[in-house]
Amino acid sequence: MRYAYFPGCSLGATASDYDLSLRAVCRALDIELVEVRDWVCCGASSAHATSHLLSIAMPVLSLSHAEADGFERLIAPCLACLSRFKAANREMQEDPTVREKIHRAFDYQYRATVKVYHPLEVMMEEGMVGKIRSRVRKKLSGLKVACYYGCVLTRPPKVAQFDICEDPQSMDSVIRALGGESLDWSYKTECCGVSMTLTRSDIVLKLSSDILRAAKELGADAIAVCCPLCQANLDSRQIQIEEKYGVHYGIPIIYFTQLMGLAFGAFPRELGLEKLITSPRTALEVCGLM
């Protein structure tokens, strides 16, 4: 299957490991990724705080490139991009006033025919879990994983239209297909606070600390994530959190694609595992994965 690929700004820099591992996993599963031509930033949380039309126009620009190049499906691995894209598509389909204004601003008339997917949505397509299971060479036996989905993968359900809103299961079923143990917990969709990471870090530290504490109490070896922004908060800021709250967590925050790649037999370096700030070595060595 061929998909347009919108990496988003994070995957070029702070989340280059997510990019590496996603590409490796897609190769292994015969999913072809073609980067969207001349894509631009989705506008994330800044565009919708300043102008509603701009928050639609920025995703539409990249989506229209994918549409003009003949793609019907697009993968966006970052939750901020994903939710902006889904919201833009929905408004373009349902709100004639917005559509008319956006069409006036663009030379190309976007028809909202490009369906937007998160990598997890692709993994949940029919027959994919079986395919994942068949590619596993090294099982994640004994690895206890807390799956953390982040805020807007399933919210709001009207726009996201994926998984069970308050208790998602998709990443858990991927981890189970890899032979790992996925833990049940109540912080799956709690917000990590990323939209204030540069301004009010105090809020971010509290929210991320709550998530880490819950995972620690659960006895998790690692937290699996599916968004570069959650990863950056929980991983890079873990030292600051430990310092502020006087506790030691040491929980590695691993992209679910990195875990998939490991189980498929890829080398840790191919998946960017050495780029994680909280080292996953101890957790993965116990299960013989590293």
Partner 1 sequence: MELTERSGRLPRRLQRITGENVMLCYQCRKCTLGCPSAYAMRLKPHELMRALQLGLEDQVLWSGTMWICLSCETCNTRCPQDINIVSLIDGLRTYYFDWEYYNPVRELPMMHRLFLKLVRRFGRVYELGLVLILNLKMLNPLKDIDLALPMFLRGKLKLFPHRSEGVKELRTVMSRLEAMEDER
Q: Is 49 in the site for partner 1 (CB under 8 A)?
A: yes
Q: Is 155 in the site for partner 1 (CB under 8 A)?
A: yes
Q: Which of residues 117-146 bind partner 1 (CB under 8 A)?
A: none
Binding mask 65-84 toward partner 1 (x if CB under 8 A, else -) reads x-----------------x-
Q: Would you state the structure tokens that stand for residue 211, as one six-digit string?
A: 């998530």
- Looking at beta carbons only, is 17 or 140 nearer to partner 1? 17
Q: Would you state the structure tokens that stand for residue 197, as one six-digit string?
A: 């990471």
Angle at 167 between CA 166 and CA 171, to 5 degrees: 130
Distance CA 232, CA 246 (A): 20
Selected from 52, 111, 133, 269, the binder of partner 1 by CB under 8 A is 52
Closest distance between partner 1 and the C-beta of residue 61, in Å?
6
Closest distance between partner 1 and the C-beta of residue 272, in Å?
9
Q: What is the largest CA-CA distance in the chain?
A: 58
Closest distance between partner 1 and the C-beta of residue 37, in Å?
8
Q: Is 173 in the site for partner 1 (CB under 8 A)?
A: no
Q: Write out the H or E segment, with its range, that includes residue 274.
A: none
Distance CA 11, CA 75 (A): 13
Distance CA 77, CA 7 (A): 7
Q: Is the peptide bond before 157 cis (omega within 30 degrees of 0)?
A: no
Distance CA 153, CA 148 (A): 10
- Looking at beta carbons only, is 29 or 245 nearer to partner 1? 245
Q: Which stretch binds partner 1 (CB under 8 A): 169-177, 198-206, 246-254, 257-265?
A: 198-206
Q: Would you state the structure tokens that stand for residue 24, as one six-digit string?
A: 């490796």
Tell me the residue type at 49. A
Selected from 104, 127, 134, 248, the binder of partner 1 by CB under 8 A is 104
Q: Write out the H or E segment, with its range, that includes residue 38.
A: none
Chain residues in the site for partner 1 (CB under 8 A): 9-10, 12-16, 37-41, 43-55, 57-58, 61-62, 65, 83, 101, 104-106, 151-152, 155-157, 165-166, 190-191, 193-196, 198-203, 206-207, 236-237, 239-240, 274-277
